[in-house]
Structures are given as structure tokens and as C-alpha cells.
């Protein structure tokens, strides 16, 4: 007997499951479906992303509702529009043999009238985001007073996004004798609170270790200099020609920037974050699903729960603020039994976080070196050889072959192969031949942490952890207020009541000028240049000395342009259009995705 039938599902649902190609129930499905079919009870189910939670609540709900009635009986709340649509589609597929089933999606950014009309036609199941749902309730466009089943999907994320009050309000319009099913990847305090508040002795289902990552995912980290982050990202992509990945950044701004930069450098990339319009987001997601975009650069919130199979790599361009978030990120890959790789690009100051993550995921990271230029050339060469080998012959080429054959009459196969692949190889070779390796200098004096060159300026600032800053928050604050680029602020070192940071000397005037009279919350924020601490000099009498410091000096032994081998690589945005030409991706293989139009934000975050 079919394993799904054994769980107690009716034939028409089993049929839909067959159509979908699901062969065996996942663990959460196996544990949840019989429980929910058997009894009318509340339930809390904890399972990581990608474990098939939608079907775990979807099938029981479909079996239990009355299709012949047009009353709304099931309500599924989910944190984002993207997820809402995803669940709706899934539910429609599950219920494709249920005649008369109407599953309606309710979410912001689309016509409320259209949604209301769909509901009016008799939606047995509503899948909604909390904001729009609340809105529709207050306008009396939906009636959830008779629902029997309420699902809180991705509950932890909904609470993270501040939907607690909306959920409370929405549920207050539902009857108290319904069943509430809560699904979550993690169980923070807030979720247990909600379980207490809204549920009666819920059944509990836990799959795998709490917070543990998928076993199909391997974890790697790459230690690089803080400002080599973007270069490292490009190399990781270049070393994996078939990459299909989600790249996580911490802020919307970085997300946008990295995506734009990638597009500019010829990669097929797109941005996904909250400053994009709904329509822009839809376009990006559609291209990504269709694999027209190879690299989706996203914020955590925007990418939460996105269910795209076959993602080969998750790249943590920056580590998340909350270490727990790492599990969600890496859960985007290694789905449906496939293997995946989660990569983390870290600078020296963050490397200790790797240990904390290892404790949470209960798995070890593999420390890897960013591929060298020559390694990339080799990979690319092999990939293009394989591609040519597997290319299907287009018969339309026939009429032109005579001429081509004549042209190559005096060229042997051996030679032809060399010539053909040289053209591909040379592109990457020229780009990478002069590049340095992106290893972070290790084993040196801790002060080498400070960009050991004369083009860097170190500052003192009179705010610190006492004021609620950690190094990441301070870095974001500085970049935002100073309108600097990603990685223009580095070596941020936060003490209790003050902190230090660096910028390139070229930003010195801007920084000092900006903070001349800068007040925040009624208090002057003071920035001064700190004296360069040189190991060659007598350290006594350190202290701060304004006006002097790191800046100014001539180009010394440690000049970055010497160290890097070619000048431009170390300069933020321009770094890639370096002396050896455009990025090698800028050619045949990779079409920039749809002009990158959709990756522009609707509004600027800047005040």
C-alpha cells in the first residue's frame, strides 16, 4: 500500500501526491499527518526548513474541511507574501482532485478588491499574511468566525517580524473551539509564549534536533581580509560554474549593492529585499525559479522559507546578526534529499563566530582557501570542455560547414582543440594572472589586523557597547551616516564606552568634517584620529593625537597596490574593472539578467 495512504489519507489526496512525485512521507509528515487526521487537537511542530511542513498541515486540512460548503474553514498565516503564494500554490496542487476547492491568497501589495471577490466566491481555505489579513477583517471583507483550523506557519519568523499583535488580533476573530497548528523551525521563547497563549495542551512533534541543520549540507568557511569579501565572492562563483545560489547579506543596502555589482560584472544576479516593490520581487523570484538568475542576493527576511529546489550553494556574504539565523540560511540548500554547500566568507574579527555556529548546528566547518586564479582557470576550462562535449549538434549549421571546413583544412584536431579552448581560457587567465591570493594574512602580530599601510586612518569615537553598539551595529551606523560604501569602514573595535574604526585616508576629511558638530539623542558624538601605533617606535606615551595619525604618509613598503599585485583590486566598487580588463564573466555564457532593472529599489533607504 502507498505509504501516504497508510497515514490515513484519502484516495484523491494520495492521487495528488502521486502526481507530485512524492514517494515517501518525510519525517514531519509521517509524525504529523496521522495525529491531525485522528484527533481534533492543537499541535506544535518543530522542523527545519525544507522538511515538508506544508504538506504536513496541508493534507490533513484538505481532508478535514467540507469541500461542499463555501464557508471559510481553514486559515493559514505566513510571514511573507512570497511564502503565502508558495503555500497557496502548494495547497492547490495538493487539492487538485478536490472538486470545488477554493484556496485564496491574501497578501499586501495586490488588489484588495480582487482578493475580497475571491473570498466571496467561497474560499474554504485562506492563506494570508498578517498585515493584509487584519486589514481585510477590519473592512469586513473576510469572515473567519467559523474557521475550524488555524495554522501559524513559520511562527518564529512571524514573531521576529513583529506580527505578535496582529496574530493576536486576527485569532480573536476566530472561534475558540478551533484547532491551532503551529509550525516553526525554531522554538524561541516567543514561540512557546504564543503556544501557551493560544493553545490547549498541544500535541508536540519535533523532527531532528532543534536548530540543527540539514544533514545533507556541508559547511565551509573562507577567511579573507575584510575588504576582499566581494572578490572572494566572485571567485567562489567562478570556481563553481554551475552555481545556483542564494547569497545572504545583512542589510538591504548591502544586498542591493552586491547584486548591482555582480550584474555590472556580468554575473546573472538579482536582489531580493524589502525595499523592492512587490512586483520587482515577483520578477526576481520568477527569474530565479526559472534559473535565469544564478545568484540571488537576499536579506534573511526576504528569503525566509523560499522553496526553490536544486540550490547548490548558500553563500553567507556576511554572517547574520543572530547566529541562529544561520540554520535558516543554510537550510535553503540540501533540500529534498540533495546535497548542498553552505559557504561563509569571514574576516578575522568574525572567525570566532564560526565556533558558536558549530555548536548550534552540531557540525564542523571545513576551513577552505578561496580558490586561486589558476584553480579557477582550470575549473572554467574543464567546464567549458564538458559543455562542448555535451552540446547537441544543431543541424541548421550544415550549409555553413563547407566554408568552415575549408578554413580549418590545415588545422589538426589537436590544434583545433587548443585554439578553441584557448579563447575561453585566456579570458579568465588574463583576468586572474596578476591577482593575488585572497588569504588573510595569518599568524602575524595582532596589530596586523589593522590594515598595515599608510593609506588607512584609525579613529576614536565616543560611543560603545554601553550605548548599545556592537561592531556590526557601529559599522552599519557609520556607513549609513557617512554614506560610505560597503567595507569602507573596517577594523571596528567596540569597547565599553568608546570604539575604534578605520577608513581609508581618503575619507579622513569627510569623516572628521561630518562629526565636527554631530549630535545624536542630544549628545555630541566625537570622532578623533588616533595616533598610529608603530611597532618600530617607542610605544610609551601613546594616547590620542588629533590631526596626526595614519594618514598622509608616502607610499611605503606596505602600500596596498604593491601588496595586491595590481592597483585597483583593493578599491571597493572599481575593484573589478581592473587593469587586466573587464570581469571575465562579461561574455557569452552569462547573460546579465534582464538588464537588472528589477534589482533597483523602489525607494532609497537614505533619509
Q: Which chain residues interact with ligand ADP by CB under 6 A?
A: 22, 25-26, 29, 47, 49-55, 305, 307, 309, 335-336
Nearer to ligand ADP, 55 or 489 (CB): 55
- Number of Cβ within 10 Å of residue 565's Cβ equals 14
Q: How far is the CB of 86 from ligand ADP (least distance, A)?
A: 7
Residue 52 binds which entry of ligand ADP, Mg ion, none, with Cβ cut-offs from 5 to 8 Å by kind?
ligand ADP
596 binds, among Mg ion, ligand ADP, none (CB under 5 to 8 A by kind): none
Q: Considering the complex, state which of residue 31 and residue 532 has its C-beta at the smaller distance from ligand ADP.
A: 31
Cβ nearer to ligand ADP, comparing 51 with 251: 51
Is the C-alpha dihedral spanning 129, 135, 137, 139 positive or negative?
negative
Residue closer to Mg ion, measured from CB, 181 or 459: 181
Least separation in angstroms between residue 53's CB and Mg ion is 5
**Closest separation between CB of residue 325 and ligand ADP, Å?**
15
Distances (CA, A) of 394 to 19, 387, 398, 400, 416: 34, 14, 8, 12, 20
Task: Tell me which residues touch Mg ion (CB under 5 A).
Answer: 53
Q: Among Mg ion, ligand ADP, none, what does residue 26 contact (CB within 5–8 Å per kind)? A: ligand ADP
Q: How far is the CB of 15 from Mg ion (least distance, A)?
A: 23
Q: Please, what is the minimum distance in Å from the beta carbon of residue 12 to ligand ADP?
A: 17
To the nearest 10 degrees (0 to 180), the angle between helices 130-138 and 112-120 is: 70
* Alpha-carbon torsion angle 235, 236, 238, 240, nearest 10: 160
Burial-class residue 412 by CB neighbours within 10 Å (0-12, 13-18, 19+): exposed
Please say which residue, 32 or 457, places its beta carbon nearer to ligand ADP: 32
- Long-range CB pairs of 386-393 (<8 Å, 24+ gap) are 388/420
Q: Would you give the distance in Å from CA 403 to the centre of its chain? A: 50
**With respect to ligand ADP, which residue has the nearer C-beta, 2 or 580?**
2
Q: How far is the CB of 20 from Mg ion (least distance, A)?
A: 15
Q: How far is the CB of 79 from Mg ion (least distance, A)?
A: 10
243 binds, among Mg ion, ligand ADP, none (CB under 5 to 8 A by kind): none
Neighbours of 35 (CB within 10 A): 19
CB nearer to ligand ADP: pick between 82 and 488: 82
CB 9 within 8 A of CB 33: yes
Strand partners, 324: none
End-to-end CA distance of the chain: 62
Closest-approach residue to Mg ion (CB): 53
309 binds, among Mg ion, ligand ADP, none (CB under 5 to 8 A by kind): ligand ADP
Closer Cβ to Mg ion, 59 or 490, answer by number: 59
| Adjacency order of strands within the sheet including 499-504 | 490-494, 499-504, 456-461, 527-529
| Cβ-Cβ contacts under 8 Å for 395 (sequence gap 6 or more) | none
Give me the least distance between CB of 4 and ligand ADP, in Å please. 8
Q: What is the Cα–Cα distance from 565 to 435, expressed in whole angstroms?
A: 6
Amino acid at each position: 500500500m502507498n505509504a501516504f495512504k497508510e497515514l490515513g489519507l484519502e484516495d484523491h489526496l494520495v492521487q495528488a501526491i502521486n502526481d507530485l512525485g512524492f514517494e515517501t512521507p518525510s519525517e514531519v509528515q509521517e509524525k504529523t499527518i496521522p495525529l491531525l487526521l485522528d484527533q481534533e487537537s492543537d499541535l506544535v511542530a518543530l522542523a527545519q526548513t525544507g522538511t515538508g511542513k506544508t504538506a504536513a498541515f496541508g493534507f490533513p486540512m484538505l481532508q478535514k474541511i467540507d469541500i461542499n460548503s463555501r464557508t471559510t474553514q481553514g486559515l493559514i498565516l505566513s510571514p511573507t507574501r512570497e511564502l503565502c503564494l508558495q503555500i497557496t500554490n502548494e495547497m492547490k496542487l495538493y487539492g487538485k482532485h478536490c472538486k470545488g476547492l477554493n484556496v485564496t491568497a491574501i497578501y499586501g501589495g495586490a488588489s484588495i478588491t480582487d482578493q475580497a471577490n475571491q473570498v466571496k466566491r467561497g474560499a474554504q481555505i485562506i492563506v494570508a499574511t498578517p498585515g493584509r489579513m487584519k486589514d481585510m477583517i477590519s473592512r469586513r471583507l473576510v469572515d473567519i468566525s467559523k474557521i475550524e483550523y488555524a495554522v501559524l506557519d513559520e511562527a518564529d519568523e512571524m514573531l521576529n517580524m513583529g506580527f505578535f499583535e496582529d496574530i493576536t488580533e486576527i485569532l480573536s476573530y476566530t472561534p475558540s473551539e478551533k484547532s491551532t497548528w503551529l509550525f516553526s523551525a525554531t522554538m524561541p521563547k516567543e514561540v512557546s509564549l504564543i503556544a501557551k497563549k493560544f493553545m490547549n495542551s498541544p500535541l508536540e512533534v519535533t523532527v531532528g534536533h532543534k536548530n540543527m541543520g540539514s544533514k545533507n549540507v556541508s559547511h565551509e568557511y573562507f577567511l579573507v581580509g575584510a575588504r576582499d569579501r566581494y572578490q572572494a565572492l566572485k571567485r567562489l562563483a567562478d570556481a563553481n560554474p554551475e552555481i545556483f545560489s542564494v547569497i545572504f547579506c545583512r542589510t538591504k543596502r548591502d544586498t542591493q549593492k552586491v547584486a548591482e555589482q555582480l550584474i555590472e560584472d556580468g554575473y546573472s544576479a538579482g536582489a531580493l529585499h524589502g525595499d523592492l516593490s512587490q512586483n520587482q520581487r515577483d520578477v526576481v523570484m520568477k527569474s530565479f525559479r526559472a534559473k535565469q538568475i544564478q545568484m540571488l542576493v537576499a536579506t534573511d527576511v526576504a528569503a525566509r522559507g523560499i522553496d526553490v529546489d536544486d540550490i547548490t550553494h548558500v553563500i553567507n556574504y556576511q554572517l547574520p546578526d543572530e547566529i541562529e539565523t544561520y540554520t535558516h540560511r543554510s537550510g535553503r540548500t540540501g533540500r529534498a534529499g540533495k546535497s548542498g554547500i553552505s559557504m561563509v566568507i569571514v574576516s578575522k574579527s568574525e572567525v570566532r563566530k564560526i565556533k558558536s555556529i558549530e555548536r548550534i548546528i552540531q557540525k564542523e566547518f571545513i576551513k577552505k582557501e578561496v580558490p586561486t586564479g589558476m584553480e579557477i582557470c582550470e575549473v572554467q576550462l574543464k567546464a567549458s570542455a564538458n559543455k562542448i562535449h555535451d552540446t547537441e549538434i544543431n543541424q541548421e549549421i550544415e550549409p555553413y560547414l563547407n566554408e568552415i571546413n575549408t578554413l580549418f583544412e590545415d588545422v589538426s584536431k589537436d590544434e583545433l582543440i587548443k585554439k578553441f579552448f584557448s579563447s575561453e581560457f585566456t579570458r579568465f587567465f588574463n583576468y586572474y594572472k596578476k591577482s593575488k591570493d585572497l588569504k588573510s594574512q595569518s599568524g602575524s602580530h595582532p596589530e596586523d589586523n589593522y590594515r598595515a599601510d599608510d593609506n588607512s586612518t584609525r579613529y576614536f569615537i565616543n560611543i560603545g557597547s554601553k550605548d548599545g553598539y556592537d561592531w556590526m551595529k557601529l559599522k552599519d551606523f557609520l556607513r549609513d551616516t557617512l554614506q560610505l560604501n560597503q567595507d569602507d569602514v573596517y577594523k571596528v573595535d567596540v569597547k565599553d564606552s568608546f570604539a575604534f574604526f578605520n577608513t581609508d585616508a581618503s575619507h579622513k576629511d569627510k569623516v572628521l568634517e561630518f562629526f565636527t558638530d554631530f549630535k545624536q539623542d542630544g549628545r555630541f558624538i566625537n570622532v578623533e584620529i588616533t595616533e598610529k601605533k608603530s611597532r618600530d617606535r617607542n610605544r610609551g606615551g601613546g594616547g590620542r593625537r588629533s590631526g596626526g595619525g595614519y594618514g598622509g604618509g608616502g607610499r611605503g613598503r606596505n602600500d596596498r597596490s604593491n601588496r595586491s599585485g595590481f592597483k585597483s583590486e583593493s578599491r571597493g566598487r572599481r575593484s573589478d574593472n581592473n587593469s587586466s580588463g573587464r570581469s571575465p564573466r562579461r561574455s557569452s555564457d552569462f547573460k546579465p539578467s534582464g538588464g537588472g532593472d528589477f534589482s533597483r529599489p523602489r525607494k532609497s533607504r537614505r533619509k
